[in-house]
Amino acid sequence: MQLDEEAEAMRRGAHGRARQWAIEHQLRVGRYFGAQQMVRVDQAHIMADTESLGAVGVDWLESLAALPPEERRVRIPTITDPRGTDFTRTAALRHEEWMLDLERRAIAAFEAMGILMTNTCINYQTIMPPVFGEHVAYGDTGVVIYCNSVLGARSNFEGGPSALAAGLTGRTPSYGFHLDQQRRGSLLVELSWQPDALHEWGALGGVVGRLAGDYWRVPVLTGLRQAPTSDQMKHFGAAMASFGSVAMFHIEGVTPECRSLADVFDGGMPPERHRVTPDDVQRLLASYNDGADGVDVVVFSAPQLSLLEMQQVADLLDGRRVVTPLLAITSPQVKPDADRLGLTARIEAAGATVLSGMCFYQSYAREMAEAHGWKRLVTNSAKLTNIIGGYGYRPVLLSAEQCVEAACQGCIP
Amino acid sequence: MTEFLARSAMGAPVRGTAMVASDGFSARYDLDRIKGVFVRPGHKLEGRAYSGMILVMDRAKGGVATAWMLREMASRGIVPAALVFNTVNPIMVQGAAFGDITMMSGFDVDITQVVQDGAVVELDTTPDRKLLRIIG
């Protein structure tokens, strides 16, 4: 890989040990993918909950944070994905002191590096959305697929260490979705209908993700009657990334790089065609229903809720009372508005819990299951249903209305 | 001895027993990392212990956490000896680089169909070779 003069200096250690580690890490990754050079990036976004980091990861972060300021501080705006707890609700979550200690240590290390603790996976709705053509280094697969597809920004999936490396160097290896050729369509998905509810958009993302099934394939949808909303795109993309490791999609006439199919298939025929029907979505929804009707916990999360989703949950809970725990999880940026507008109070008046700055599956989900005796989890997030089985839960994917009914009745409606 | 040329490889040479499945892999989605067992319901390796095995899988799946988790797993010694895929995503490569885990991917055949579960294999990761050899 070719490095410019400054990057070569980083490699030699002239810019300190943190940047030397970062550029070496980027070279290893870049060489694996045949990258020829680095590309400068304007923002980095780090996924680094402590359940993933473990004590060894936190120790490592602290070793960087202990370096002199000129060595340890990031060079570009660098923000964070959700943390592993909501510090205002640790008792209710039954998060133990050792978890909180790891979280505090990780936060202190990140802050020492000049990283902004935004703690959100919806930064494209709340912080500073990247613009068309902007190169960024984002963690969280849902963030990457949204920004590549809906906004036309350019990022690969950047895991925590790589996003941190990008923050330290201001660069990332130029391969994958930084390059024009990787952003072309791989398969055409024809629809003759359009989902409505968010869980259906998520389920459609799951179906398309499974069809693509590969990071390097880019699905192209055609046949939608109207442009989806930001929240619909959010659930659609997050599920597609989760089910299929997909990092980009196009929707004909909607997403910015696909005004027409010719734009993404180079004027030729799609190499592969599929038709997806409402039955395909219903089959995916049904696959999570094992016929039992008990409910242990209802979760709105993954991705964190927008202000409009918070309003929907508040509207559905007005005048109701939950008998099963219901968690509504949002970002630290949305939460003050939800408080100011009375949404938090309305949700909590029903006995539900509003959390912020965390995301359910990134917050010691296995330990929470054991501490609370939670097994059967109801959610409207297709992404969460795909992930949470690995933590010992039996998820059910329902509409927001059905989720609230499940929480109020204590059983699947 | 049969051998297959990979397009990409990193890490130290490894010899060990292959655990093979035509399925995806994510440290976050699929594993009980404390016990070292595949636990995701429906996964083709559900219930099997992976520590010290050379995992031969179809593809790397989503879940950026894997980039941290491979190093954490290695620190406890409950980690695969190496990872072999038909197709990888950046997360798995970043995690292998960060965790110093041997990895190999990209073959002219479906590697999950030509390596038998339980076979002894050797990964030669030298830059000019990048070979998976079936020893026995």
| pLDDT above 90 as % of chain A | 96
Angle between helices B66-76 and A160-169 (to 10 degrees): 110
Task: Test A245 with B65 for CB contact under 8 angstroms.
Answer: no
Q: How far apart are CA B135 and CA A18, in angstroms?
A: 41
Order of strands, sheet of A394-397, starting from the edge strand that comes earlier in the sequence: A353-356, A326-330, A297-305, A376-379, A394-397
Best to test chain B binding among A24, A245, A287, A363 (most B CBs inside 10 Å):
A245
* Residues in chain A closer than 8 A to B86 (CB atoms): none
Q: Nearest Cβ partner of A157 from B8, B28, B89? A: B89
Cβ-contact A262, A345 below 8 angstroms: no
- Say if residue A27's pLDDT is above 80: yes
Task: Test A54 with B68 for CB contact under 8 angstroms.
Answer: yes
What six digits make up the tokens of A29?
Answer: 């990754």
Strands A38-40 and A171-173: antiparallel
Q: What is the DSSP letter of A351?
A: T
Q: How far apart are CA A376 and CA A393, in angstroms?
A: 6
CATH at residue B50: 3.50.30.10
B134 close to A (CB below 8 A): no
Shortest CA distance from A50: residue in chain B: B68
Q: Nearest Cβ partner of B68 from A48, A387, A390? A: A48
Rg (CA), chain B: 13
A64 — pLDDT class (breaks 50, 70, 90): very high
Rounded to the nearest 5°, which phi and psi values hold at A187? -150, 145
- Please tell me the predicted confidence (pLDDT) of residue B127: 84
Q: What's the number of domains chain B is made of?
A: 1
Q: Nearest Cβ partner of B28 from A139, A245, A390? A: A390
Shortest CA distance from A34: residue in chain B: B8
Task: Test A215 with B98 for CB contact under 8 angstroms.
Answer: no
Q: How far apart are CA A97 and CA A148, in angstroms?
A: 38
B91 close to A (CB below 8 A): yes
Q: How far apart are CA B93 and CA A257, in angstroms?
A: 28
What six digits make up the tokens of B7?
Answer: 């397009």
- Chain A with chain B: Cβ pairs closer than 8 A: 125
pLDDT tens-digit map of A118-174: 999 999 999 999 999 999 999 999 999 999 999 999 999 999 999 999 999 999 999
Q: Which domains does chain A have, with CATH numbers?
A: 5-180 (3.30.499.10), 184-285 (no CATH), 291-409 (3.30.499.10)
Of A374, A379, A320, which is closest to residue A347 (Cα–Cα)? A320
Residue A275 forms beta bridges with which residues? A190
Query: How high is the ipTM of this complex?
Result: 0.95
Give the residue carrying structure tokens 């009980």.
Answer: B32
B37 close to A (CB below 8 A): no
pLDDT tens-digit map of B29-67: 899 999 999 998 899 999 999 999 999 999 998 678 899
Taking all residues of chain A, what is their mean pLDDT, rounded to a whole number? Answer: 97
- Please tell me the predicted confidence (pLDDT) of residue B128: 86
- Say if residue A269's pLDDT is above 90: no
What is the extent of the structural domain holding B30? 2-134
